[in-house]
């Protein structure tokens, strides 16, 4: 029997090339070796306000893009988080054994709360959901009792908290759930912004030129690469002091399935113009292929989502019942 793994992507904003390289591409590789559960995290999207119509559109687009990128519903259980009620039920239980200090130390909470718009009296309204959402993330994982979780480097802190909470729950309530280990992709675990390569490429970035979206017009995406920030040296080599160049090399390497070192060697005697031209063409062709498949899947996701939710509900309900009994709720 294959070991279980679980992961998901929040249904806020549009999926980027960074989401593909840093997360989805890894999921595709893992589906042959694991019993994989992948969901669209629509409950997590509610941590800050999102227009309901936008959320519905985002959910469908992400699900169709999962399929278009190569996730196979015969190998991977695909579902919407909100279609499995156990996620919300276990969320409350997890908050009761998680401390406020642990939640307040989460760097993503600090980063996202800084973007909250101030009121007229200069005070901030930080949604409670934004503060406690790591508890839901922990519930998302525990329900499937995986031994490992594919994550981006920026989610490693949340998984460490998950390990801590699982250990606490096991000790206090005499349970035996796995403390999941991270599976982090070796290449492209954090694709950077094209405008500011010191920051990660984000699907919620307000500057559309900063990110390549998987549903971007391929020609528009090509032009974004041509405008990508590099530096004035015009020499191509791997260096943390050249984040713009390293970012383009990483994108090229990932889409060509080679190492960053091989990409560096390939471009060693070429100019930044050559680099941007070739990366742009690779990205453009990738988007054309993905979007052709997306158009086929976008009209046919309901049956796949329902089938995935049925399978996910079965295992999630079984593990929730074990925890409820241990806590004295059943």
Q: Which helix (H) or strand (E) holds 150?
A: strand 148-150
Active site residue 200: yes
* Selection from 302, 277, 269 nearest residue 67 by Cα: 302
DSSP-assigned letters across all residues of 18-62: HHIIIIIHHHHHHTTTSEEEEEEETTGGGGS---HHHHHHHHHHH
Strand partners, 37: 6, 77
- With the CA atoms of 241, 223, 214 and 203 taken in that order, what torsion angle do they form, in degrees rounded to the nearest 10? 50
How far apart (Å, rounded) are the C-alpha atoms in residues 36 and 78?
A: 9
Active-site residue, selected from the candidate residues 25, 60, 112, 284: 112
Active-site annotation holds for 110? no
Is 53 a catalytic site residue? Answer: no
Q: Return the residue matching tokens 């080679």.
A: 258
Please enumerate in sequence order all residues whose Cβ is within 8 A of that of 308, keeping only pairs 6 or more positions apart, or say none: 73, 77, 78, 79
Q: How far apart, in Å, are the Cα atoms of 5 and each of 17, 84, 158, 260?
A: 23, 17, 16, 27
Catalytic residue among 14, 60, 200, 242: 200
CA distances from 303 to 27, 35, 144 (A): 21, 20, 22
Residue 144 per-residue DSSP state: T
Coil, helix or strand for 76?
A: strand
Catalytic residue, from 203, 224, 242, 284: name it: 203
Tokens standing for residue 265: 């060697």
Give the residue numbers marked as catalytic. 112, 200, 203
């Amino acid at each position: 029997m294959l070991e279980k793994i679980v992961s998901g992507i929040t249904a806020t904003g549009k999926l980027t090339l960074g989401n593909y390289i840093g997360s989805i591409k890894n999921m595709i590789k893992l589906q042959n070796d694991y019993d994989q559960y992948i969901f669209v995290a629509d409950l997590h999207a509610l941590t800050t306000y999102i227009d309901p119509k936008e959320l519905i559109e985002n959910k469908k687009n992400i699900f169709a893009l999962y399929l278009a990128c190569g996730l196979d519903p015969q190998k991977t259980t695909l579902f919407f988080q909100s279609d499995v009620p156990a996620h919300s039920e276990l969320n409350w239980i997890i908050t009761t054994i998680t401390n406020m200090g642990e939640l307040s130390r989460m760097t993503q909470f600090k980063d996202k709360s800084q973007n909250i718009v101030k009121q007229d009296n200069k005070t901030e309204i930080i949604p409670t959901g934004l503060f406690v959402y790591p508890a839901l993330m922990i519930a998302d994982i525990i329900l499937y009792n995986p031994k490992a979780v594919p994550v981006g480097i920026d989610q490693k802190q949340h998984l460490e908290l998950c390990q801590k909470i699982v250990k606490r729950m096991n000790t206090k309530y005499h349970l035996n759930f796995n403390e999941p280990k991270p599976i982090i992709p070796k290449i492209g675990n954090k694709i950077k912004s094209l405008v500011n390569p010191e920051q990660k490429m984000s699907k919620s970035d307000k500057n559309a030129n900063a990110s390549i979206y998987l549903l971007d017009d391929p020609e528009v995406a090509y032009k974004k690469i041509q405008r990508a920030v590099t530096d004035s040296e015009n020499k191509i080599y791997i260096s943390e002091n050249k984040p713009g160049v390293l970012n383009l090399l990483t994108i090229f390497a990932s889409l060509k399935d080679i190492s960053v070192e091989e990409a560096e060697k390939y471009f060693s005697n070429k100019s930044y113009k050559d680099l941007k031209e070739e990366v742009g063409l690779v990205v453009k062709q990738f988007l054309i292929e993905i979007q052709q498949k997306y158009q086929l899947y976008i009209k046919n996701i309901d049956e796949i989502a329902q089938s995935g939710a049925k399978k996910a509900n079965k295992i999630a309900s079984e593990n929730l019942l074990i925890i409820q009994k241990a806590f004295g709720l059943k």
